[in-house]
A and B are shown apart, each in its own frame.
Chain A
Amino acid sequence: MTGEQIVFLVVAFVTLFAGLMVVTTRNLVHAALWLVAALFGVAVTYVILHANFLAVVQVVVYIGAIAILFIFAVMLTRRDMRDQGPQMNKNWWFGAVLAVLTFGGLYFLLQGWEGMTKTATSYPVGFDAISELGNALVSPAGYVLPFEVASVLLVAALVGAVYVAFNPRNGNSGK
């Protein structure tokens, strides 16, 4: 077993455990912090896959912004709004069966796929992944169109999110 495999196993286990804690812990703040741990585990997985930029994006966007958004959303609640009900509903066994079946199906499916047994190859010397990405994003033969549409999408989402999050009782709707 190489060092990389050991790191991967440790990280994968921590990620899964953190993910499990996110959905089982009753304290919302703890759930958000476990989520940060799970997202961080994914970032490390990206590193193992040599996807350095994605790893940084994972930290900057998911931990730096989305997890913070979650925590702020938790801050909008009060202690007396805590959910006291049972954490499982009566269909839990159905969900469990479905999850196991999906996992088995995916495993079976991906087992036959050549990409499953490949390991990430190292970049050639002097290869600059971020430059390549920049090139792909804006060169006409690359992803110019998704790049520009993404900004339109961000604006549409911003307008929508601001409209939904905005509290009509605050009274600054006049503008």
Chain B
Amino acid sequence: MNPWIFVGLFFVVGLLIPVGAIGIAWLLGPKKPNPIKQSVYECGIETVGESWVQFKAQYYIFALVFLVFDVETVFLFPWAVKLGALGLFAVIEGIIFILILVAGLVYTWRKGMLEWA
């Protein structure tokens, strides 16, 4: 448990700093609202139309492919950590594992799913 206390501490501190900064500004700052001040901050050109629009399905397909290979890394990570001690058999196994997934990658690639078209 010990080493994780630092991770927890990191989150607490990370939360406290912005909360503190915003809180102090809220406490100390003068409040003189007017309509222009309260409008949503926009950088650059004013937005046209809805802010919630339908995105390309390609985003979704990318995330999907990413998910599959993300899960792959989860399986390969323990394998890679132990690789030096495991011997040839384990290496071959890992390679088979990767090769099967490469087939999936080739499939998606060749289907044009990885193109931003």
Contact = CB atoms under 8 A, between A and B. Distances in A.
B61 interface: yes
A30 to B, nearest CB: 13
A69 B83 CA distance: 31
A125 interface: no
The main secondary structure of chain A at its interface with chain B is helix
Contacts of B78: 53, 130-131, 133-134, 137
Contacts of A79: 50, 52
Interface in B53-73: 53-55, 57, 59-68, 70-73
Contact of B90 (A47, A52, A133, A139): A139
A131 to B, nearest CB: 5
Interface string B84-117: 0110011001101110110110011011110101
A56 to B, nearest CB: 9
A129 to B, nearest CB: 9
A151 interface: yes
Contacts of A69: 60, 63-64, 67
B74 A60 contact: yes
Interface residues of B, number: 54
Chain A interface size, under 10 / 10 to 19 / 20 to 34 / 35 or more: 35 or more
Contacts of B62: 72
A138 interface: yes
Contacts of B21: none
Contact of B57 (A131, A144, A165): A165
A148 B94 CA distance: 8
Interface of B: 1, 4, 7-8, 50, 52-55, 57, 59-68, 70-75, 77-83, 85-86, 89-90, 93-94, 96-98, 100-101, 103-104, 107-108, 110-113, 115, 117
